[in-house]
Structure 1
């Protein structure tokens, strides 16, 4: 599974960069407030931290983009649930993120809503401790990225969104509230 994901990412990034159906290229840099939570939590635990990501934006049409990405997310357990009560449950992630996403967007000036979905790999350390799960795993796992957001500005070069990375093999998801800026590349 690991080798297949790495091979798929290499093929996508190397062949699509020179593909003739790519209209424009850009770089998107995002930074934000990172979150992680277990899938099966009784106490509604959300651990917080940091998130950063870079994407190569390959514009196919005004409404569709292919986005290979590389980033990281670091979260730590605060030992409290959402109500501020102490809890032993946690979902901690310290990982690099690598993969590809497909963005569908409404090509509207100044405020363009979008949705993204894709496949990728998380490389790092994952801890999920709930009443149902006790997982402490390191290495490479797959994840499914999903994002919702808005592209803002005259050229839609400011990105404001919610990004989630569902990690089924460690029974948790990581995510972020992130702000990004897109820089066009010359052809």
Structure 2
């Protein structure tokens, strides 16, 4: 199953990248404040870290583009909840992220709001320890990326977003508040 998912992502990415309906190609690079939190918990806690990602932007129209991506996230527990109180609950990830997303934007001059969704795989170490779950996994799992953000500037080449990856196999969300720049390839 895991090998089939990786092969499917590689085939899909290579097919889309060479398609004739692609109008423009560019690279988007993002960095940000990473966070991991469980999908089911009675307490408010999250573990913090670092996020980085690069995307190949394949523009189809002003409204839609495809984005094969590769990135990583590293979050570690500090033993505290969001209010600064001690907790023994943990939601950590050290993972390489790989997949493809589709972005739908409203091309307003200077500020273009957007939403993204896709499918991908996380490769690494995942730990979720709550009152309901105890996952300590290493390997390959699938994730569902989704983002909300703004493209800023005259050419919409500055990107600010909330980007998240739902990892149902380990009952956690990983994500970031990220900022990025887009560089045209044409």
TM-score range, shorter chain: over 0.9
- Give the corresponding residue for 1:45: 45
User: What is the alpha-carbon distance in structure 1 between the residues aligned to residue 148 and residue 34 of structure 2?
Assistant: 15
- Does the alignment pair 1:166 with 2:146? no
> What pairs with 1:55-66 in structure 2 (closer than 5 Å)?
55-66=55-66
| Partner residue in 2 for 1:22 | 22
Secondary structure of 2:42's partner?
A: coil
Check if 1:68 corresponds to 2:62: no
Structure 2 distance, partners of 1:109, 1:92, is 39
CA distance in 2, matches of 1:84, 1:24: 47
Question: Which ranges of structure 1 fall in alignment gaps of 5 or more residues?
Answer: none
Deviations 1:57-110 (A, max 9, x none): 000111000000000000010111111110000100000000000000001121
After superposition, residues 1-187 of structure 1 pair within 5 angstroms as 1-186=1-186
Moved more, 9-18 or 47-56: 9-18
Name the SS for the 1:61 alignment partner.
Answer: coil
What is the CA–CA distance in structure 2 between the aligned matches of 1:142 and 1:120, rounded to whole Å? 6
Query: How much is the aligned-residue C-alpha RMSD, in angstroms?
Result: 0.7
Matches of 1:146 and 1:15, distance apart in 2: 22
Q: TM-score, normalised by structure 2?
A: 0.98
TM-score (norm 1): 0.98
